[in-house]
Every structure is written in structure tokens, then in C-alpha cells.
Structure 1
Amino acid sequence: MEKVVVIKNETGLHARPAGMFVKKASEFTSTVEVKCKGKVVNAKSIMGIMSLGLGKGEEVTICAAGADEEAAVNALVELVESGFGE
């Protein structure tokens, strides 16, 4: 399962929101990945997420495969759309 979402927070995915994203992704047993700018990274890896250098307005695809894939994708989309509380 996958969904596309746009980064909304002004500062993009810097350390704090990236940490929140990885923590949320790690709550699920499914394999979770983020695709952007031709790169695919493990959503449970802080280094992978930070390596994307995501800024405000960038589109990312959140993909998951496994028993709780729908819950994983929906939770991560909700987190991104909330602007990480910023």
C-alpha cells in the first residue's frame, strides 16, 4: 500500500520531525519505505530519512507491505499532514 503526501511544516523534515517519523514507523511490523527524488529509504532509519533532505512542499510517497501496512501508511500520512506539531 502507498500514499503520496506533501511536507507541510516550514522547516521541512529536520532532526526532530524526522525522529518523530522514524519512531512512528517503528511501531509497525510492516516494511515501511519513503520514496522521494528518485531515492527509496527505510522509514525506520533516521539516517535514511535525514538523507532525503526533505523541505516544505516536497511530495513523498510512503509505502508499506505487511500485516499492518494500511495502519502504518495512514499513521505516517497523518503525522506528516499535521506538520509534526510545528
Structure 2
Amino acid sequence: MPEIRIGFRLADLPELAVFSFVSTSWELAAELPALAAALEVAVVPALGVLRCEVVGFITRSGLAVSYRRPVVEVDRTQVLAQDAVRLAA
């Protein structure tokens, strides 16, 4: 199981602290090369959005399953969800 750690600062209060987001998501692990490439070409400090999307589905046996999928976006000018946190890398 992967363990991804992302350090970030809040864009509106960068002096507050460096926060850490930890995830064991295989989907996020697969997206790391694209995230690294986006951070390499981003203007420093890079602004982005870190949010957790709710994913839900019904299994074949009829059981409702839901989980949160982490999403990281870099250099987006608009926050896509109210529960998102603006961050600066």
C-alpha cells in the first residue's frame, strides 16, 4: 500500500505552518508523476487546491460503498468545491 505525504501551506496564511496531508490512495499514487510535472513548471509559490471527493457506488450484491478520493490541482484560479483548501507549495 502506498503512503503519499504532501506538505503544503495555506495560501491565505502561509506563515501559519507547514501542514501535511497523508494518503494511501492508489489513484493518487498513480497521479504523482503528473503532479510533480505540474509543480516543476508552476510559478513559485505554486497555488493549488487540495480536496477530497466523495465517490460512491452500489456493489453487485446491493451494498452501498463510499470513500473519499484525494484530488490535488496546481495553478487553478478557481476553487472547485466549498470544502476545498487553497494551498501554496
TM-score (norm 2): 0.26
- Greater length-normalized contact order (CA 8 Å, ≥ 6 residues apart): 1
Instruction: Indicate the structure (1 or 2) with the bigger Cα radius of gyration.
Output: 2
Question: Which of the two has greater helix per residue?
Answer: 1
TM-score (norm 1): 0.26
